[in-house]
Chain A
Amino acid sequence: MLPSTVLAKNSVVINKYRPLPKKRTAEFWDDWRIEHIRTMSLSGRSTRQPYIPANNRTGRILDRIFIVSDKKMHTGMTRTADMSSRFCNGSDLTLSSPLYLGDMSYGALSGIPNIAIAMAAERTGVIAGTGEGGLMPEITGCGRITVQWASARFGVDASSLSKGQAVVIKIGQGAKPGIGGHLPGAKVTGPISAARRIPPGRDAISPAPHHDIYSIEDLGQRITALKHATGRPVMVKVAATNYITYIAAGVARMGAAGIIIDGAGAGTGAAPRVIRDNTGMPIELAVPAVDAVLRKEGLRENFTIIAGGRVSTPEDSVKLMALGADMTSLGTATLLALGCLMVHKCHTGFCPALITNRADDTPERTISQECAILWISNLVNGWTGEMSEIMSAAGVGRLSELIGNRSLLRLSGNERDELTSILGISGADAGNAYGIEPGASINDIAQDVQESVWDEETVRALRELSGASGKSPREAVMSSMGTGAVRRSGESVRPMDSIVCDGAQVTRPSIDPYRERIDTGVRICGGTIRLSSPFFFTHAPAGSDNTDDAVFERVASEMGLILDSGRCGMQGTGARLMSALDNTASSARIRTIDIDTVDDLARIGNTGGGKGPLLIRCPSTPETAEKLAAVNWNCSVFAGVVIDMDDRRSHAPVELTVSAVDALFLDAGLRESITILAEDDTICGAEDIFKLVALGADAAGFRTAASMACGTGTAGASGGHGLVATVDRKLLQNLVAGLQKEIKLLAGAAGISSVGSSLTGNRELLRAVDMDTWWRNELSLKPAGPE
C-alpha cells in the first residue's frame, strides 16, 4: 500500500467518464450496452433508441425475446405510462419506478458509490439495497433502503435492521450460487471494520450457507424472528437455481413480502469462474416459472418478485416484468453509470474507476460524490423513461397491465417449441433449429468443438490453475464483473455446455469446501482402486507425441489418479494396459479390451497376462449401449467400460453415450459392480468432469487440457490441439490439486459432500438450459425453469 502522503500528491477525483478500453474478446456487456447506459446517465432522459440493436443481441434467451409493438414508436408523441407502484406488502412506500438498485455492500464498493446509490434512490423515488456491509453513517438517514441479514451478520443489530424499508435475508447471489465470500484482512480497514462490526485487519468471511437456515422451516423461523424484531417486511434474496420454484413458493408461504431472484451471470466483485459459468440459470427462465407456480398455489398476490442478473437495458426490465416480475434490480448497470470501465479488476482492489477499490480513510482518490449521485439519478430517470416508451409502444398504460402479461412477448429466430412453452410465450417463427441436428456426425463439427472449447479464457484459467501463469496455483480461478459465460447461451456445441449445476439454498445448505469436508474420492473396479478425484489422464491424442507419458504416469501415481496409456495405434489388437494407479493394490493394472474383440477371450489370456480388472473399451456412438447390452456381463471377467471419445469410430457426444450406458447398467441391476470411465479430449475444466460424473461416469479422462495447462515452452494461449511442449511435473501436480478444489466448489455448491457416492449419475443436480430437446431427452435431464 502506498503511504497516504504519496496518495495525496496523486490526488484524483473522478468527475467524468473515461473512454472504454478496447475489448479483446466478445463480452455480454459490450460497448453498445455501456454507452447506452452512459448516455442515459449523462442526460437523465431516454436515448429515444430503447431497443437493443440486432447486432448487439447475444445468444442469451432474453435477447431473443421481442416486445410486441402496437405502432412504430413515435418518440415524444407516446403517451406516458404510469410507472409508480407500491414497494411490497407491509410497506407503505410508493416507488416512482419499479427499480431496485441492487444489493452492493460497503467493502465491495469503496464508500462513495454506496452513498451515491442510496442518495440517488432517495432523489429519484426508487429503492436501494445496501448489501451485507453494514450501514455507513452517511446512509443511515436515507429512507429508501433495505438492510441485509446475511450469513456473516456484518453490521447487524436490532436497531440497524429497523433502519430500512425492509429487511432482506440474503441467501444467495446469481454470480455464485452456493458460494460464500471472503474479504481479505488487508481490505478490512478502519471504516469497514466499524460498519461491519468486525475486527480490523482480519479476514471477513461470509459462510456459504446461513447456519441458522438449513431448510424452508428454518427460513420461516428467521423471517418470523426478523419481522418480530423489526416490525418491517422481510424479503429473501436468492440465486436462480434448480429448485427456484420450490424455493419461491416456500419463501412466500413462510410469510416473506417478496423474493429477489438473481439470475446467472449477475455481477460480483469476485466469484470462482467454474461456479459463475456453470451454476444457476438465467433470470428469464426463473421468473416465468416462479410467477406460474405462485399463481398456481394462490401465493402470488401481495408478493413481490424482483428480478436481477444481467438487466442491461430498459428493454430487459420490461421483458422480465412481462414474464412475471414486479420489479427489476439494477446492479452492474448502476456501476456502469458510475463510470465502471468493465476491466474485470474488482477482486484485485485496484479499480481504475475508483468504484471497487479499497475503502480506507484516504479520501484523496475517489469518485466525485456529486457526480455519482447525479449519474445514478439520471440513469434511473432515463431508464424509467425508456421503459415507459417501450410500454406505451406496446399499448400498455400501467405496470399492472405489464406484469405477467406474456402476450406482449414473442420469441424470435430458430425457436424450438420447448423454449416457448417453458417461457409461456409464442414464437415469432418456428424456424430451423440450430446446433447439431440429431444424428449428425460429430466429425462434421469436430473443428468447431476444438475452436470453441479452447478459447482464450479457458486456456488462461487452466494455466492459472496449474500455476503456469498467475499467482495462485492450485486455487480455484477467480473472475470478476461481467466477464464470460456467453458460450452456453444458445451457442453450445457440446451438450455439456448447455447443462447447469445446482446451487443448494433454502431447502438445503451448500457446503463450504474451504472449511468443511468434501470427499472427492471415487472407487472403481469393484472398489479395488480409489481415485483421489473423479478424473484421470488419458493417452496422448492419436498422431501426437507421447513422450510426456512418464510425467503423467508419475503424477497420476503420486496424486492418486490413473493414466490410461492405451495407444490408438493398437486399436483392435486385444488387451491394452491402463497404467497404474494405486500402488497399494497388487491388482494395480487395469486392462482394457476393445468392444469388437470381446468375444475373442482367448486373446486376452495371450496378451493381457490375466492380472487386474478388465474394462471394455468402446467408441462413443449411439450403438455403444446396445452393443454393451449384448455382452455377457459375467462380472468376474469384465469390471467395466471405457467410453473413448478419441476412438476414431466415435461419432456421438460422449455425454450421451455415458448417460445411456449408465442407464443400461442401472436397469440391468449391474451398475454397482460396473465401472464407467469416460474419455474425451475436449474436457477443459472441472465443470466438464463434474457434469460427466453426474451424467453417470465414475471418472472422466483427459489429456489435452493438462498439456495446455502445464506445458512449458511453446504453449500458447490459443495453443493448437496437442501441440504443447513438455509438461512440467510440478505444474501437473498443481493442476490436479486445483481441479480437485474446483470440483469441491461445485459439489459444495450443490450440497454434495461425497462425490463417489452421491454425485455419480445424480442427474437431479443438473438442468438443461436451452438445450436441444432431443439431447435433453437422451440425457434424461429436466429443463431449467419449470417446476
Chain B
Amino acid sequence: MSDVKNGKPADLRVPVVKDGCGIFGMIRKKDAMRIAGRVPVKGISAASYRGGGLGAGFASFTLTGTAPEWEPFRLTAFVRDDAAATYIRRDVERKFGRILHFRLDRAAISRGGGEMKLMTAAVSPYSVSGTDDLDAIVDGINTRLFSGRSPDGRIVSFGRFVEVYKGVGHPAEVARAYALDGDRVSADMWIAHTRQPTNSPGTYPFWSHPFASMECAIVHNGDISSFGSNVNMLRSWGFRSHAGTDSEVIARLMDRLVRVEGLTVQQACTVLTGPMEGGVDGEMLSLMNRYRRARLDGPFSVAAGFCDGDDLYLIAMVDRSKLRPMVLGEDDGHFYVASEETQIRCISPEARTWRPEPGAFFIASLSMGIIAGGSSRRMAVAGGTSMLPRYDAQLHDSSDDQDWPASRDASAMSYDDINRFLREAAARDAKEVALRNVAGHRYIGMALSSESKLTVELHGNPGNCLANLNDGLFYRVHGNIADDACDTMHRGGVTVHGDAGDVLGQALQGGFIFIRGSAGNRAGIQMREYSTESGRPSLIIGETCDDYLCEYMAGGAAVVLNLLDAPEPIGMFAASGMVGGRLYVRGSVGEEHFGLNPLKEDVVNYLRTASEEGLIDSTMLGEIEKRETLTRSSLRSMLKADIFSRVDELFYTSRHSRQLLVDTRKLGKEDFEYVGSALAEFFSSFGFTEDTVRGILDSDYTVVTPCND
C-alpha cells in the first residue's frame, strides 16, 4: 500500500454536469454496406423535440480488417491553445508511442466563451503490451489540463477503431463542421447525440456526447443517482479526472469492465444495468457484487458502441424502471437504437421496431447479429405480427370538400398546426378527419373543446402526449404511439393499430383505450372511476405489457389479452398499490407478478430461525426454500396461522398498501357485466372473427382486485 501517503481523504468532489437528451445508434449487418455519415445525421436530427442546440456529436466505428496491433490509436482532444496541444503531444510521445499524424488546424465547433481548438493525432504505441496503460496516461493528461477553474483542454477519444466528432451546436451544425453530412465518411457503426444541457450553459465542446474510453463510446440520456458510487469505482481503478458527466463515467465503466476486468459485453451490461437480486445467480452474482459500485441507478437510456478488435457491438441499455425513452429497430441491413420511433422510421420506414423492457439491454454485433434482444417478451413471440410496423396504406378520405380537405399531410405541420386543424374541424362539425405522415408530433389533441365528437384518423407514429386531457374525441391510430398518451382522459376513445409506449392512460377516468399490440411500462396507472356520467374507463391491450401495469389503480377495467400467448404476458409489480378497479390478464399469471413482494431470502431467513426453534418442521422449511418465489398466499396455505400472521406483519403488510386478491378463473357473468361491452367494442374495432373472439374469451383469466377488508 505504498501509494497511500496518509489517511486523509483526497478531494472527492467532482463537478457535476447533467443533461437530458436525444440518442441514436445503428450498426450494419454483415452483408450490408458501410453506413454513410448522412444517415446518422438524419437519424439524430429527426429527434426534433430534443436537444437545445447546445451540444451534439457522433462516433463512428470501423473494422479495417488489419490486425488490431497494427492499427494506430487516434487521439482527439479539445485544447485551449497550442501550449496545451504541445503538452499532450509531448506526454504521449514520452510515455506511449510515436506520433504519426498531428493536426491542430481548426477551431472546434463551440460558442460563448468555451472556444477551443480541435486536436487530432494518430499514435503508434512503442510496445504492444503497454497499450492498456493508455487510459492511465490519458487520465494523467486530463487531470493536469482540467485542474484550474477554466479547463485548458481534454482528450475525448483515444481508441483504434472509434472516432469521435462533437461540438457545441445542433447535430446538423456539428455534422457540417466535420463534413459528416454527405457520403464521404462512412462506417460500420454510428452513435449520435443531441444535447439539452439542463444545468450548464454547455459552452465547452468536451461536454458534448459521445463520451469515449478506448474502444467504447456512449451516448446517454438520463441522470443517474449512483454517480457518487460510480465515481468511487473509477477512483478505485485509479481514475482521477472527471469531466463531471454521468455519461463519461458510464463509458469508462463499460470499457474498463470488458477490456481490463475481462467481462464479456453481456456480463458488463448485466453489471451496469444490475437486475435486482434473485434475477441472476452463481458467477454473475459474484461479479455483480465485486463490481457493485459500477451498477447504474436512477434513470438512463444508453446507446454504446464497442470494439474488441475483432467485432463491433451496438449496445443499448435502459434502467430498471425504464425512466428514459428508447426504441429498438431492425431492417434487412441494420439494427437501430433511438430515443423516438421517428428517428428510425425516417431512415427505414418499414423497419420493425420494439421497445426494450425495463432494466434490459440490447446487443447486436457486426458478425453475430442480435446477441441480446432487449425484450424477452418480444423475443418469445418474435415470429408473431406484433413487431411489424402497422401502417394502413389505405387512407379514407372522408370529405370531398374542395376548400377544406378533411385529410392532411402532417409532414410539414407542427403540433400547433395539427391542433388548429382539429379545432377547425370541430368548429365545422366534421365527423371525421385524417392526418397522414404523422411523425413524432407531440401534444395531438391538446386544447380541444369537450363539445366535439370528432373522430381523428392518424397514420404514422404520433409522438408523446397524444390525447392528454381528452374529453370526447375519438382517435384511430394506424401505427405505434409513444409515451404519456391519454393522460387524465375523461371521455372519448383511442384505438391503436400498433404498440403503445410507456405510461399509457395515466389517471384515465373515462372513455376507452384499445391497443392492438403491446404497451410499455406503467400502463393504466392511477386509473379511476368516479362518476356514472363518464362511464367506466377501460384499457384493453391486445398483447403484452411491461412492469407496474395498473399501479395505484383506483377504478375501471384493464385487460391484457396476450393474443400471441407470450409465456409471461406482463412484467413485475402489476397492480402495486391498487385500491380499486379490476385487472384481467388472459392466462394464468404467477402471483409474484402482482404487488410488491419481499425478497425471498429475507422471509426464508426468518423461517429458518423458526424452524430451529421447532415452530415449523424442517420438511416444510425445505419445501419453502425450494420455491422460486414466496407469495403471501402460498405462505398462508403452508404455515400455521400464528406463524403466518407474524411473517405477514413483518414482511408483507404495510399500512400504506392493500393486499391484492389474485384469482385465476374463467370469465363469468359478473365479469362480462363489468368489462364485456368494452371487450366487444375492442374485438369489433380490430375486426376479430367470432371464432377468434370465442377462443379468446373462453380462456382462463387472472383477475386482480384489491382486498378491501
Q: Do A and B come from one complex?
A: yes
Q: Which of B49, B222, B528, B552 contacts A215 (CB 8 A)?
A: B222
Knowing A198-B530, A754-B274, A764-B227, say if A669 contacts B555 (CB, 8 Å).
Answer: no
Q: Which of B199, B297, B506 contacts A757 (CB 8 A)?
A: B297
Knowing A532-B605, A761-B228, say if A751 contacts B297 (CB, 8 Å).
Answer: yes
Interface 1/0 per residue, A264-302 and B, CB below 8 Å: 000000000000000000000000000000000100000
Q: CA separation between A500 and B123, bound complex, in Å? A: 48
Q: A503-511, A593-601, A703-711: which lies at the B interface?
A: A503-511
B458-472, CB < 8 A from A: 464-465, 468-469, 471
Q: CA separation between A633 and B4, bound complex, in Å? A: 12
Interface 1/0 per residue, A478-508 and B, CB below 8 Å: 0000000000000000000000001010011
Complex contact A672–B290 (CB within 8 A): yes
Q: CA separation between A211 and B504, bound complex, in Å? A: 10
- Is A671 at the interface (CB under 8 A from chain B)? yes
Complex contact A560–B601 (CB within 8 A): yes
Knowing A203-B579, A215-B324, A530-B601, say if A761 contacts B232 (CB, 8 Å).
Answer: yes
Interface 1/0 per residue, B151-170 and A, CB below 8 Å: 00000000000000000000
Complex contact B235–A225 (CB within 8 A): no
Knowing A759-B229, A780-B11, A782-B13, say if A667 contacts B528 (CB, 8 Å).
Answer: no
Contacts of A158 in B (CB 8 A): 447, 450, 469, 471
Interface 1/0 per residue, A186-216 and B, CB below 8 Å: 0000000100011100111101000110111
- Is A683 at the interface (CB under 8 A from chain B)? no
Tell me the nearest residue of chain B to A782, going by C-beta.
Answer: B13
- Is B548 at the interface (CB under 8 A from chain A)? yes
- Is A249 at the interface (CB under 8 A from chain B)? yes
Complex contact B577–A560 (CB within 8 A): no
Contacts of A761 in B (CB 8 A): 228-229, 232, 293
B137 to chain A, nearest CB (A): 18
Complex contact A202–B555 (CB within 8 A): yes
Complex contact A757–B274 (CB within 8 A): yes
Interface 1/0 per residue, B533-564 and A, CB below 8 Å: 00000000000000010011011000000000
Contacts of A752 in B (CB 8 A): 225-226, 297-298
Tell me the nearest residue of chain B to A507, going by C-beta.
Answer: B223
A642-669, CB < 8 A from B: 659-669
Q: Which of B1, B450, B528 contacts A197 (CB 8 A)?
A: B528
A641 to chain B, nearest CB (A): 12
- Is B99 at the interface (CB under 8 A from chain A)? no
- Is B509 at the interface (CB under 8 A from chain A)? yes
Complex contact A629–B4 (CB within 8 A): yes
- Is A737 at the interface (CB under 8 A from chain B)? yes
B268-295, CB < 8 A from A: 274, 276-277, 286, 288-293, 295
Tell me the nearest residue of chain A to B578, going by C-beta.
Answer: A515
- Is B526 at the interface (CB under 8 A from chain A)? yes
Q: Which of B1, B3, B506 contacts A212 (CB 8 A)?
A: B506
Complex contact A212–B484 (CB within 8 A): yes
A751 to chain B, nearest CB (A): 4
Complex contact A757–B528 (CB within 8 A): no
Tell me the nearest residue of chain B to A242, going by C-beta.
Answer: B16
Tell me the nearest residue of chain A to B293, going by C-beta.
Answer: A757
Q: Which of A197, A212, A517, A557 contacts B609 (CB 8 A)?
A: A557
Contacts of B295 in A (CB 8 A): 754, 757-758
B595-637, CB < 8 A from A: 596, 599, 601-602, 605-606, 608-610
Q: CA separation between A475 and B298, bound complex, in Å? A: 25
Interface 1/0 per residue, A598-636 and B, CB below 8 Å: 000000000000000000000000111111111111000
A383-426, CB < 8 A from B: none
Contacts of A153 in B (CB 8 A): 487-488, 506-507, 526
Complex contact A515–B596 (CB within 8 A): yes
Complex contact B198–A666 (CB within 8 A): no
- Is A250 at the interface (CB under 8 A from chain B)? yes
Knowing A507-B198, A558-B605, A625-B6, say if A760 contacts B650 (CB, 8 Å).
Answer: no
Complex contact B576–A516 (CB within 8 A): yes
Q: CA separation between A622 and B450, bound complex, in Å? A: 69
- Is A588 at the interface (CB under 8 A from chain B)? no
Knowing A508-B222, A509-B323, A765-B225, say if A216 contacts B196 (CB, 8 Å).
Answer: yes
Contacts of A754 in B (CB 8 A): 274, 276, 295, 297
- Is A113 at the interface (CB under 8 A from chain B)? no
B73-126, CB < 8 A from A: none
Q: CA separation between A751 and B221, bound complex, in Å? A: 16
A23 to chain B, nearest CB (A): 29
Tell me the nearest residue of chain B to A669, going by C-beta.
Answer: B236
- Is B144 at the interface (CB under 8 A from chain A)? no
Q: Which of A253, A554, A664, A673 contacts B198 (CB 8 A)?
A: A253
Tell me the nearest residue of chain A to B294, going by C-beta.
Answer: A757
Complex contact B577–A202 (CB within 8 A): no
Knowing A228-B443, A504-B225, A508-B299, say if A199 contacts B608 (CB, 8 Å).
Answer: no
Complex contact B579–A185 (CB within 8 A): yes
Q: CA separation between A750 and B602, bound complex, in Å? A: 24
A409 to chain B, nearest CB (A): 27
- Is B689 at the interface (CB under 8 A from chain A)? no
Interface size on A, residues (CB 8 A): 117
Contacts of B1 in A (CB 8 A): 629-633, 668, 670
Knowing A202-B580, A507-B18, A624-B7, say if A216 contacts B198 (CB, 8 Å).
Answer: yes
A116 to chain B, nearest CB (A): 27
Q: Which of A202, A229, A516, A583 contacts B468 (CB 8 A)?
A: A229
Residue in A157, A532, A622, A665 with the greatest tally of chain B CB atoms within 10 Å: A157
B425 to chain A, nearest CB (A): 17
Complex contact B577–A205 (CB within 8 A): yes
- Is A63 at the interface (CB under 8 A from chain B)? no
- Is B428 at the interface (CB under 8 A from chain A)? no
Complex contact B7–A198 (CB within 8 A): no
Contacts of B464 in A (CB 8 A): 221
Contacts of A661 in B (CB 8 A): 7
A209 to chain B, nearest CB (A): 9
Complex contact A760–B293 (CB within 8 A): yes
A671-687, CB < 8 A from B: 671-673
Contacts of B11 in A (CB 8 A): 780
B361 to chain A, nearest CB (A): 17
Q: B55-63, B184-192, B652-660: which lies at the A interface?
A: B652-660
Complex contact A532–B602 (CB within 8 A): yes
Complex contact A660–B8 (CB within 8 A): yes
- Is B68 at the interface (CB under 8 A from chain A)? no
- Is B128 at the interface (CB under 8 A from chain A)? no
- Is B529 at the interface (CB under 8 A from chain A)? yes
Q: CA separation between A762 and B297, bound complex, in Å? A: 12
Complex contact B447–A229 (CB within 8 A): yes
Contacts of A434 in B (CB 8 A): none
Knowing A153-B506, A516-B596, say if A762 contacts B229 (CB, 8 Å).
Answer: yes
Q: CA separation between A225 and B576, bound complex, in Å? A: 28
Q: CA separation between A765 and B238, bound complex, in Å? A: 22
Knowing A583-B608, A625-B6, A663-B9, say if A198 contacts B528 (CB, 8 Å).
Answer: yes
Q: CA separation between A113 and B323, bound complex, in Å? A: 38
Complex contact A762–B232 (CB within 8 A): yes
- Is A763 at the interface (CB under 8 A from chain B)? yes
Contacts of B656 in A (CB 8 A): 182, 475, 514
A-B contact sample (13 more), CB < 8 A, given A157-B469, A667-B4, A752-B225: A158-B469, A205-B579, A224-B442, A246-B18, A508-B223, A508-B224, A583-B605, A624-B7, A671-B236, A757-B288, A758-B225, A761-B228, A778-B8
5 residue pairs of the A-B complex, CB under 8 angstroms, read A215-B324, A231-B447, A625-B8, A668-B3, A754-B297
Chain A residues near B (Cβ < 8 Å): 152-153, 156-159, 161, 182, 185, 193, 197-199, 202-205, 207, 211-212, 214-218, 220-221, 224-225, 228-231, 243, 245-246, 249-250, 253, 297, 472, 474-475, 502, 504, 507-509, 511-512, 514-517, 519, 521, 523, 527, 530, 532, 554, 557-560, 583, 622-633, 659-673, 694, 733-734, 737, 741, 750-754, 756-765, 778, 780, 782, 787
